[in-house]
Structure 1
């Protein structure tokens, strides 16, 4: 069994997930890097974590598939013998204007929920037996301010993150006292994923709109979210069932 604590981060080949994996490595943890498609970015994140002194396990797994979640847990146990923090960061969306009700079909909802909600649930279920061996372990679900603001990439995405918030509270009750479960609700995060999804013009318009309304006049970085994932996962020993906004004050807006 590893003497170092172990953080498992889904969707950690780029963006928030990659920043979170690197931060845990920086602070002396071993990490599990997960990806679902291209191995090259995941390997680059793994090499960065190794350079920081971490042992790293890289696993291809689609969290929407229960068998993949269970295999990821099994490989983590075989390699490290423990899992102290699980960050459910893997997510997906479809970029559709909120007023375009014909832009979403039932299949879009199913696809988004399969990753953003069901995937998180399946990961928790797969890892709970291993995490119970190391109380007080922490699960961090990456939600979105879209879940409470009614703004975001699509109605299906907003709804999925709202469901994730509700599930976070239920899981916090179900897994107490040995495992804490909390969620982060980031605002607009500067990531290539969002820039590519919106396109350069819409992305810049979104940044300008956000800065014009957020109390702190800032958007969010992947490192900002990673710091919160560290706090809720590794530090906040008596916090569970909470949704922590990292939105630069968008919800309260400017005075």
Structure 2
């Protein structure tokens, strides 16, 4: 007869992740599907990763997080699919550099770009955490164990950037929400964040860029998205952690 811990590991849970159509989000979703869990994910535009997840049994919901209406529509769609949510991971992200001095955009365009970053990185997690709180609490009550929210931020939040100020400011806001929601939702819901640096290069990255990026950390490796999967698993199974920011940066803070 299997021990209780093993039986618990095989229990199907409902995991919700935003932005799972490619790269890190795709790796997390596929990991949970392989473990037998129900996966509900958001995506902005159809792409091969979305189709792959749906073929594996995940439920994809197209969502536009640039508006409050789009955010709340995704929350309602999740609520219609499941009364229980065991894990909510905020992975959806918008990458955008600040305008250069020599080609300053009109202020209205700059403001619109920053508003989009704010909506995706801060407003969406804020509203979704509140909207799905009943499902997270219901799952905790049913299982007798805390459920969890994980915010994916960015290692560069700790130092800022001359080129990506708006992007990092909104990621910093998400990191700060970790503390607020951890205090608000305890003890039934644990809230933590992971702050990754380089995990995997893009196919089009040059050899020069790759070499320069690897030199930024003492470990000097491209760990792949497996390292993120392992970090998320750690937080899922670590019952005494909430309100924490877990760095995943190869020691970049040491340089």
Distance in 2, Cα, partners of 1:206 & 1:113:
28
CA spacing shift, 1:159–1:31, aligned 2, 3 Å:
same
CA spacing shift, 1:22–1:212, aligned 2, 3 Å:
same
CA spacing shift, 1:64–1:190, aligned 2, 3 Å:
same
Q: What does residue range 225-240 of structure 1 map to in structure 2 within 5 Å?
A: 225-232=228-235, 234-240=236-242
**Secondary structure of the structure 2 residue equivalent to 1:181:** strand
Matched, 1:46 2:49: no
**Partner residue of 1:183?**
193
Deviation for aligned residue 1:178: 1.1
Deviation for aligned residue 1:29: 1.3
* Residues 99-118 of structure 1: CA deviation (Å, up to 9, x unaligned): 88947822222111110111
CA spacing shift, 1:101–1:178, aligned 2, 3 Å:
farther
Cα pair 2:26 2:49 within 8 Å, conserved: no
Which deviates more, 71-80 or 241-250? Answer: 71-80
CA spacing shift, 1:127–1:235, aligned 2, 3 Å:
same
Match of 1:128 among 133, 137, 150: 133
Structure 1 or 2, whichever has the larger Rg, is 2
> TM-score, normalised on structure 1?
0.83
CA spacing shift, 1:77–1:119, aligned 2, 3 Å:
closer
- In structure 2, stretches of 5+ residues that fail to align are 1-10, 141-145
For the aligned residues, what is the CA RMSD? 2.5
**Secondary structure of the structure 2 residue equivalent to 1:9:** strand
**Partner residue of 2:227?**
224
Which deviates more, 150-159 or 92-101? Answer: 92-101
Distance in 2, Cα, partners of 1:97 & 1:212:
27
Distance in 1, Cα, partners of 2:99 & 2:213:
17
Cα pair 2:161 2:168 within 8 Å, conserved: yes
- In structure 1, stretches of 5+ residues that fail to align are none
Deviation for aligned residue 1:184: 0.6
Deviation for aligned residue 1:191: 5.0
Matched, 1:215 2:191: no
**Partner residue of 2:78?**
76
* Residues 85-135 of structure 1: CA deviation (Å, up to 9, x unaligned): 000000102134888894782222211111011111122122111111122
**Partner residue of 1:17?**
25
Which deviates more, 177-186 or 70-79? Answer: 70-79
CA spacing shift, 1:25–1:36, aligned 2, 3 Å:
same
CA spacing shift, 1:108–1:78, aligned 2, 3 Å:
closer
Cα pair 1:186 1:246 within 8 Å, conserved: yes
**Partner residue of 2:143?**
none
**Partner residue of 1:7?**
15
Which deviates more, 239-248 or 104-113? Answer: 104-113
**Partner residue of 2:113?**
108
> TM-score, normalised on structure 2?
0.83
**Secondary structure of the structure 2 residue equivalent to 1:117:** helix
Cα pair 2:15 2:86 within 8 Å, conserved: yes
